[in-house]
Structure 1
């Protein structure tokens, strides 16, 4: 039972991440916007994580790198939340999952780590599964909001930047310090980009605070703590595979909460994508 505890933590954290897009889309019916939701989520998470004891000092100017890393995840969250106001939550998560091969591309361009043939083959299957899971063939180009596609693709690229940067910065401090600074950088970036929108709409009342607390606790603080405890125990490769649970959870939540339709073709595409992503993470773990 003890051996299952740490994998369960990673699974639970990924599942909690997966619920966010549906609840964010639901909050839009209350008149809220992606900018204020993502900003409040990041700010409250930074405060919560900053209050957790056990912080240690960082070496040199690592805090600057962590703030910049937070900028990437802040941009990813804002763009992802923005995308679900134009396209379905299930399609948004399908496109977001392209971060898996975006991260390979970035490592190739920045660090000259060329992907091998197995990784290139899995990218082909990810793209094939994306077309099926997004139901793009049935919907057709005219039925899709390309603005929403652009937002979710941009979110995927920003998320890939975050993953690449997060694996290389802040190694001198513990997870509390690192996570709090990343969330602070996330909140700052979202505010700088959307200061006008956040100030103009001014929805910061009791109802909005409840939504913000939910998103920050369920969508950031608890998963961050679960990952911080579980990932070091089971390894990055196994964790990356387990964290793909975010994908089916997001699609299922979109179906049951938002009543978005799921076809057999989409389910088949999801299975293909999950299998391909798992294989990719397996080959990446062999290189470590």
Structure 2
């Protein structure tokens, strides 16, 4: 891989990490305004989908939509692993300290590297193995700087780690089949579709609460645009340039940013 592509990929992943690190702050502020996980997530992906449709229309107005098969794969990626990962993680945030949740979540590179080895037969190089050990060690050390959690919160967080690992591996396989803006747009729509169904069909059994203050809505909008649509876009660029293993390892810088935020 050319050095220029590698450096660009690293910069993109670091940028996405910075954007994603704001997630916990936006979410906690939305919860404080009266919203709950399903309410926040439904609005989050509705706004993110609209934002990406508009961005694609402006930046790539003549880009063709992918085939039905690729569209289904992208919708499935957004409607399964991204949907479940976000739902589990946001429920974890409602039950534990935001710093601790991100520290637990970012043990996921271990699963990505192992999954990439088993599924794609990409045996990790010595440099990848060393970087993985160092990054996870850094995450473990950081645990001492964060707060407490409930048992349910920890379970939700570890479950989101599993689903996000699948999302990362799936992204590396599906994204090369279409352009960046189209890929992100369809993934967002897939995730929104599932949350809209959950909020509508599950409403008799699941509380759906939206923000009750202007500040809460501002945080959800920022969550959707900065920490979802834009963050996902540059993350996908990073995966295309670096592959899932290296990308996942670089993202372990996020716990530090989340705790600072």
TM-score, structure 1 length as denominator? 0.71
Measured after TM superposition, the shift of residue 31 of structure 1 is 1.3
Alignment of 1:153 with 2:161, yes or no, is: no
Cα distance in 1 for residues equivalent to 2:120 and 2:233? 29
Equivalent pairs, count: 246
1:192: Cα distance to partner?
Answer: 3.7
Greater Cα offset, 20-29 or 10-19: 10-19
Partner of 1:203: 210
TM-superposition CA deviations, 1:39-96 (whole Å, max 9, x none):
2111211111112221322135101110111121122122112111111111111111
Higher radius of gyration, 1 or 2? 1
> Of the two structures, which has the highest relative contact order with CA contacts closer than 8 Å and spacing of 6 or more?
2
* 1:103 aligned onto 2:112: yes
* Change in CA separation of 1:101 and 1:242 when aligned onto 2, cut-off 3 Å: closer
The counterpart of 2:15, out of the listed 12, 20, 33, is 12
SS in structure 2 opposite 1:189? helix
The answer for the alignment partner of 1:37 in structure 2 is 40
Contact 1:97-1:156 at 8 Å conserved across structures: yes
Query: Matches of 2:49 and 2:125 in 1, distance apart?
Result: 38
Q: Which residue of 1 aligns with 2:95?
A: 86
Q: Give the secondary-structure state (helix, strand or coil) at the position aligned to 1:56.
A: coil
Q: Say if 1:63 and 1:170, in contact at 8 Å, map to a contact too.
A: no
- 2:53 maps to 1:50: yes
Could you tell me which runs of 5 or more consecutive residues in structure 1 were left unpaired when the two chains were aligned.
Answer: 254-288
Map of 2:76 onto structure 1: 68
Cα deviation, residue 228, structure 1: 5.9
- How far off is 1:203 after superposition? 2.8
CA shift for structure 1 position 165 = 0.3
Q: CA deviation at 1:105?
A: 3.0
Shift of 1:114: 5.1
Q: How far 1:108 sits from its partner (Å)?
A: 4.1
Name the SS for the 1:169 alignment partner: helix
- Alignment of 1:23 with 2:31, yes or no, is no
Distance (whole Å) between structure 1 residues aligned to residue 235 and residue 199 of structure 2: 29
CA drift of 1:214 comes to 1.5
State whether residues 59 and 173 of structure 1, in contact with CA within 8 Å, keep that contact through their aligned partners in structure 2: no
| Cα distance per residue 1:119-146 (max 9 Å; x no partner) | 566655555444432239x98xxx6412
What per-residue deviation string (whole Å, max 9, x for no partner) do you get for residues 226-246 of structure 1?
Answer: 4566776x6558766654442
Match of 1:285 in 2: none
Distance in 2 of aligned mates of 1:38 and 1:218: 14
Aligned-residue Cα RMSD (Å) equals 3.4
Map of 1:176 onto structure 2: 181
